[in-house]
């Protein structure tokens, strides 16, 4: 049996590619021991990775801003070809090309039955919700690899209807595992609809995905804020307005210059807990974006918060930030009757419909996020460039299956 090369966290600022055992149709020990379930997983499938992406959430771990241990496998954005299935898998078969939601879900618990697959109760004994290759998320092996095991395969896998079409559109379809549904979730839960004016904080891949999703939902103006000129240019490349947060002007004033008033109908936080204050060279202020979106969202607005916030941050700016306790102006949000939606995106709620938008040519998500293909061995370089602010979404191609 061959080995399995996988990207691992080697310490703050460093990743490497190591060889581990080829996956088996078995559950992780953390899940088995914590939940008292059988180790054998006849409901699982093994996938050969077609594409797997570097995510900003991975970057938080690699920066040393979580409690991830050295040796943590990485990668939760997975698209692959089924190569083996357990005896209880009925509806996917070897040769199928499938998208894998980053949320691992059993399909059997109360949360899964309510469509809340991001907080499945049966896949992580530590707390609701699990993901591949992520700290404190159940011990599941990461998908920045050559092969990966997917449990509860009939429930979790989204099979593409045509193999050749899927490979042709793989740079768009690879975004279905996380950032396209996550960005869409941010815009949708912010209430974006026909004619809305929208502010998206952050021009990283999730922010760009949220901006593109807002366009698909019918927004009349989408404004993206960031401090990195290349990322702002990427947002403008597909029709967004931008504000440069290095400037000293008030955000509300910059919004007014674009839409004629200092507020928007909907706002999305696609930054999360490593937010910085405004102005060139501003220091980290983790509540900045949350306070920004409350400030510039109109009264009665909804706020979508797909940006990651954690309960343990060793690099937090103070003792409160280290446990995820931030200086949020909740009184402002209360006074304006804002609604907040936080937490992992329940990918399965959106991925089939977004797949259809891609296959019909109506969604151009790879173009919006500037999908850039690298090899598995190039993963360390991809992480370093992404950390430096590259306006790219790095797509790892472990088996050279992505067309040029």
What is the DSSP track for 163-222?
HHHHHHTHHHHGGGGTHHHHHHHHHHHTT--TT-EEEEE--SHHHHHHHHHHHHTT-SEE
Residues of each domain in the chain carrying CATH 3.40.50.720: 182-341
**Each residue's pLDDT expressed in tens, for the chain with a length of 404 residues:** 589 999 999 999 999 999 999 999 999 999 999 999 999 999 999 999 999 999 999 999 999 999 999 999 999 999 999 999 999 999 999 999 999 999 999 999 999 999 999 999 999 999 999 999 999 999 999 999 999 999 999 999 999 999 999 999 999 999 999 999 999 999 999 999 999 999 999 999 999 999 999 999 999 999 999 999 999 999 999 999 999 999 989 999 999 999 999 999 999 999 999 999 999 889 999 999 999 999 999 999 999 999 999 999 999 999 999 999 999 999 999 999 999 999 999 999 999 999 999 999 999 999 999 999 999 999 999 999 999 999 999 999 999 999 76
Cβ proximity of 235 and 245 under 8 Å = no
Pairwise CA distance, residues 307 & 55, whole Å: 12
Has domain 182-341 been given CATH number 3.40.50.2300? no
Angle at 87 between CA 86 and CA 93, to 5 degrees: 65
248: part of which helix (H) or strand (E)? none
User: Among 130, 121, 191, 175, which Cα is nearest to 341's?
Assistant: 191
Helices (H), 193-345: 205-216, 229-236, 251-259, 288-296, 330-335
Residues of each domain in the chain carrying CATH 3.90.180.10: 3-178+346-396
Pairing of strands 3-11, 14-21: antiparallel
Residue with token string 């079409």: 165
Instruction: Check: pTM over 0.95? Answer yes or no.
Output: yes
CA distances from 229 to 77, 177, 246, 274, 290 (A): 26, 27, 10, 18, 22
**CATH class of this structure's domain 3-178+346-396:** alpha beta
Contacts of 149 (CB under 8 A, 6+ apart): 23, 24, 25, 26, 41, 44, 45, 46, 47, 141
Angle at 343 between CA 15 and CA 393, to 5 degrees: 40
Q: How many helices (H) and strands (E) does the chain have?
A: 15, 15
């Amino acid at each position: 049996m061959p080995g399995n090369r996988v990207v691992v966290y080697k310490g703050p600022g460093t990743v490497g590619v190591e060889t581990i055992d080829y996956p088996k149709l078995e559950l992780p020990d953390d899940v088995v021991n914590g939940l008292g379930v059988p180790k054998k997983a006849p409901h699982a499938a093994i996938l050969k990775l077609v594409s797997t992406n570097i995510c900003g959430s991975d970057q938080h771990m690699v920066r040393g801003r979580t409690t991830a241990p050295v040796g943590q496998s990485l990668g939760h954005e997975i698209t692959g070809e089924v190569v083996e299935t357990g005896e209880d898998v009925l509806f996917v078969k070897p040769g199928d090309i499938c998208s894998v939601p980053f949320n691992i879900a059993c399909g059997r618990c109360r949360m899964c039955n309510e469509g809340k697959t991001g907080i499945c109760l049966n896949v992580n004994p530590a707390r609701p919700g699990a993901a591949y290759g992520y700290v404190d998320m159940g011990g599941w092996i990461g998908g920045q690899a050559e092969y990966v095991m997917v449990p509860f395969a009939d429930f979790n896998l989204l099979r593409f209807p045509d193999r050749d079409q899927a490979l042709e559109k793989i740079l768009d379809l690879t975004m279905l595992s996380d950032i396209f549904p996550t960005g869409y979730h941010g815009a949708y839960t912010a209430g974006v609809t026909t004619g809305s004016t929208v502010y998206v904080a952050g021009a990283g891949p999730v922010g760009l995905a949220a901006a593109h999703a807002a366009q698909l939902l019918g927004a009349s103006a989408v404004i993206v804020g960031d401090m990195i000129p290349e990322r702002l240019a990427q947002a403008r490349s597909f029709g967004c307005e931008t504000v440069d947060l290095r400037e000293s002007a008030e955000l509300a004033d910059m919004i007014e210059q674009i839409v004629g008033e200092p507020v928007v109908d909907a706002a999305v936080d696609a930054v999360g807990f490593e937010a910085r204050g405004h102005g060139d060279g501003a220091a980290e202020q983790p509540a900045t974006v949350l306070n920004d979106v409350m400030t510039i969202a109109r009264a009665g607005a909804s706020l979508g918060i797909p940006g990651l916030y954690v309960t343990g941050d060793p690099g937090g700016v103070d003792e409160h930030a280290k446990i995820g306790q931030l200086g949020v102006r909740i009184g402002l949000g209360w006074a304006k009757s804002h609604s907040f939606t936080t937490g992992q995106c329940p990918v399965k709620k959106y991925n089939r419909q977004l797949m259809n938008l891609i296959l019909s040519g109506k969604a151009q998500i790879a173009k919006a996020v500037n999908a850039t293909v690298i090899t598995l061995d190039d993963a360390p370089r991809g992480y370093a460039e992404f950390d430096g602010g590259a306006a790219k979404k790095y797509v790892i191609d472990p088996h050279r299956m992505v067309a040029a």
